Amino acid sequence: MILISDYNRKYSKILNLSFFLFLIMIFNPPIFAEQPWMDASITASERADLLLEAMTAEQKVAMCHGAWGAYTGNVPGIPELGIPALCLSDGPQGARIGPDGNVTCFAAPITLAASWNVDLALAFGRAYGAEQKGKGTNITLAPMMNLSRIPQGGRNWEGYGEDPFLSACMAAAEVKGIQSNGIIACAKHFIGNEQETNRGSNSSAIDDRTLHEVYLQPFKACIEAGAGSLMGAYNKVNWTYSCENSYIMNTVIYGELGFKGFIMSDWGATHSTVPSANNGLSLEMPGSGYFGGSLLRAVKNGDVSPQRLNLMVKRILVPMFEAGLFDRKPEGSTSANVTSPSHTQTAQDMAAQGLVLLKNTGNFLPLGGSIKKIALIGEAADSRPIVTGGGSGNVPYTYMQLVTAKEGIKDRAGSQFDVAYDAGTVPGRATSVAAGADIAVVVVGVNSSEAFDRLSLSLPADHGNRLIKSVAAARKTIVVVYSPAQVLMPWADDPNIVAILWGGLPGQEQGNALAKILFGDINPSGKLPLTFAEKAADYVPAGPEHGRTVWYSERLLIGYRGFDSRNTAPLFPFGHGLSYTTFGYSDLQCSSTSVTFMLTNTGIRDGAEVAQLYLGFPESAGEPPRQLKGFKRIFLNAGKSQAIDIPLTDNELSIWDIQKKKWAVPEGTFKVYVGSSSRDIRLTGSFQVDK
Ligand code: BGC
């Protein structure tokens, strides 16, 4: 006899079972049976393996090369397998996709670097990544990681300056911001692409210690931040092309750093089929000269193993799965207008926080008090603005979008100040305009581009040094310089030049940012990410190498490390930047795990300070005298104090042991220098590391 309750139990079991099957059908549609890699509940690596099992050799090879097309680079999708197309776009200052004016022209990375604001780098990455996504891009060719080794470097503005630690922090934050949009970042150019002169044929000769301790650092940080791809550089590294260099790809990136993503070539930087494939390259861009039919033949005749081909493709598929590219429909379009008021605000924050006040005699700035009439001088303030650099990193902005220095200053001045503008192109006129005003503001600049290094470190004579000198002879003058990296400032000590500002390449919001700083709406907090030398001869190396080999013979002594070791006084040191307030440092305590101190805003204005930590390694380690190993940007109201804690890990204390081929913390006394620039050290201490 069946009891009612048993019957109910049985019936409810059947009900449960069919409900369960129904759930499976909803959440696991039959397609998963045929295409199990579409199941988002398993790992990216498992999904890639399942997909690879279903792919023919031809389909795999099709994923290993791109083509020209709507985007900077295009890898067609394979719809029958659910593989979406890859759409790759430049970077790094903004999305380089027309029509002009449909994207935000942010400040260049060199300006962002001058903010030393990691949170701002994250915000920039988010905003910039969102614009790329809106344009349909799913791989953005940014951030740019090459260091400012020579001031002439044509692409210095695309990177984060001369210091590996600062660059690593900023670029890693940018990667996180970009990838928070579900698209893939591409950290470029790996490695040793510190000059443009003969970049396609020359070899960067970099010793292993320097490679690890200096040039690898930003890439290492980006990999740790989860970057899905890297771009191999044009140049050779130690006489082997980057994109077929087994040591830097197989050994360093995949072996030491455990990178799980893929390496694509720079545009036209693939030079072979078999060595490139076997040594770590996954994607030839943008053509198929080496990774099309030739790669298929190499696989068929055994020069490239099927396992290697699988690995090449898996490295592309894993970041695609991780970014969710298989799990959503392609979105965005090249014609979309992706700029927004909030992105414009980010652009302005970058331009303002990256504007560095180099000199401010007698606290002349901010403008106010008896200053009523301003003579604004220079074409760079109006008809020839310096906004973004040239080449693949150029951002297509319009004059409608751009707020020039003249527009920004006039707008902010309103009826409170009288602003008279002169381009400075007619001899004598600028001087008389300046003489008729209470103060002159001269805006000057120079630009640079990919594929060339600057021939000179001087500002253009007529629109630069001569103009500044003649105006300063007539009236007290504020000089504003926009440039991709260092310029010479032979007039810097002129007593009539009461203030100097440097703003990198400031993007579309330059005028608003400048006006807010000049009039004191924003208290300047930028710090140089570069060392500005007194004279060209003080830079070592002095400029690009024109021979076949670029010897990195200064080794670890890039930038201020070299100035410190040679005891050369810079004009403006790395990390320098003034504020309208003052900061006091006290109560230093240090150990091998943390450095703490008290920071106080000792002035009468609220403002931000970038407190910098430099370490001097035990002498036996053979390191540069001082190296940046930590920093914090803190906003403090006037009179307020805050305890600052900068953590230290083995990462900051290690050197690369070339014998053992691993990182090692040297024994002995580490000196601690805390201050407001690399040459304005306020607190010193030390700690001991024993084995
Ligand atoms: C540049 C890369 C850029 C690529 C695509 C190359 O010339 O070196 O940085 O991403 O072109 O435009």
- Let me know: does 510 contact 405? Beta carbons within 8 Å: yes
- Let me know: does 132 contact 90? Beta carbons within 8 Å: no
Going by their DSSP bridges, the two strands 662-664 and 594-601 should be labelled as unpaired
d(CA 197, CA 81): 43
Q: For residue 161, report the distance from its CA to the centre of ligand 1, in Å.
A: 19
What distance lies between CA 547 and its chain's CA centroid? 28
Q: Whose CA is nearest to atom 4 of ligand 1?
A: 267
Single out the residue of 150, 175, 171 nearest to residue 162, CA to CA: 150
Location of structure tokens 């790395």: 574
> What average pLDDT score do residues 417-445 get?
97
d(CA 18, CA 306): 44
Single out the residue of 177, 260, 271 nearest to residue 232, CA to CA: 271
Q: Whose CA is nearest to atom 7 of ligand 1?
A: 267
pLDDT at 640 (0 to 100): 98
Q: Pull the structure tokens for residue 550.
A: 């670029």
What number does the ligand 1 atom closest to the CA of 73 have? 5
Q: For residue 620, report the distance from its CA to the centre of ligand 1, in Å.
A: 41
pLDDT at 26 (0 to 100): 47
| CA 174 to each of CA 110, 383, 492: distance values in angstroms, whole numbers, following the listed order | 13, 32, 34
Q: What is the CATH number of the domain that holds 498?
A: 3.40.50.1700
Q: Look at 305 and 100; give whichever has higher pLDDT.
A: 305
Q: Which residues have CB under 6 Å of ligand 1?
A: 72, 90, 141, 188, 266-267, 392
Q: Is residue 576 part of a domain?
A: no
Q: Is residue 533 part of a domain?
A: yes
Single out the residue of 242, 269, 247, 244 nearest to residue 257, CA to CA: 247
Claim to verify: residue 496 and residue 421 sit in the same structural domain: yes
Location of structure tokens 């609220």: 606
pLDDT at 51 exceeding the cut of 50: yes
Q: Is residue 147 part of a domain?
A: yes
Greatest alpha-carbon pair distance for the chain in Å reads 115
pLDDT at 8 exceeding the cut of 90: no
Question: Which residues are 613's β-sheet partners?
Answer: 630, 674
Q: Structural domain of residue 19, as residue ranges?
A: 1-34
d(CA 160, CA 166): 7
pLDDT at 24 exceeding the cut of 70: no
Q: Where are the beta strands (DSSP E) in 104-233?
A: 139-141, 184-190, 203-205, 229-232
Claim to verify: residue 208 and residue 154 sit in the same structural domain: yes
Q: Pull the structure tokens for residue 191.
A: 């490695």
Q: What is the CATH number of the domain that holds 600?
A: 2.60.40.10
What number does the ligand 1 atom closest to the CA of 392 have? 12
Q: What is the mean pLDDT of the chain?
A: 95
Going by their DSSP bridges, the two strands 655-657 and 662-664 should be labelled as antiparallel
Location of structure tokens 């792919």: 55
d(CA 426, CA 561): 43
Claim to verify: residue 601 and residue 636 sit in the same structural domain: yes
Tell me the best of 231, 392, 450 to mutate to test the pocket of ligand 1, counting ligand atoms within 8 Å of each CB and taking the most: 392
Claim to verify: residue 479 and residue 604 sit in the same structural domain: no
Q: Is residue 564 part of a domain?
A: no
Q: For residue 392, report the distance from its CA to the centre of ligand 1, in Å.
A: 5
> What average pLDDT score do residues 212-239 get?
98
pLDDT at 16 (0 to 100): 52
Exactly one of 39, 163, 266, 564 is catalytic; which is it?
Answer: 266
- Please state the φ and ψ torsions of residue 93, each to the nearest 5 degrees: -80, -20
* Annotated catalytic residue 349: no
Q: Is residue 556 part of a domain?
A: no
Reported pTM = 0.95
Tell me the best of 88, 197, 448, 450 to mutate to test the pocket of ligand 1, counting ligand atoms within 8 Å of each CB and taking the most: 450
Claim to verify: residue 519 and residue 450 sit in the same structural domain: yes
619 Ramachandran zone, left/alpha/beta (phi>0; psi -120 to 50): alpha
d(CA 467, CA 483): 17
Claim to verify: residue 8 and residue 103 sit in the same structural domain: no
Q: For residue 85, report the distance from its CA to the centre of ligand 1, in Å.
A: 20
Claim to verify: residue 95 and residue 119 sit in the same structural domain: yes
d(CA 329, CA 599): 50
pLDDT digits (tens, 9 = 90+) for 233-278: 999 999 999 999 999 999 999 999 999 999 999 999 999 999 999 9
How many structural domains is the chain composed of?
Answer: 4
AA letter at 161? G
Claim to verify: residue 112 and residue 217 sit in the same structural domain: yes
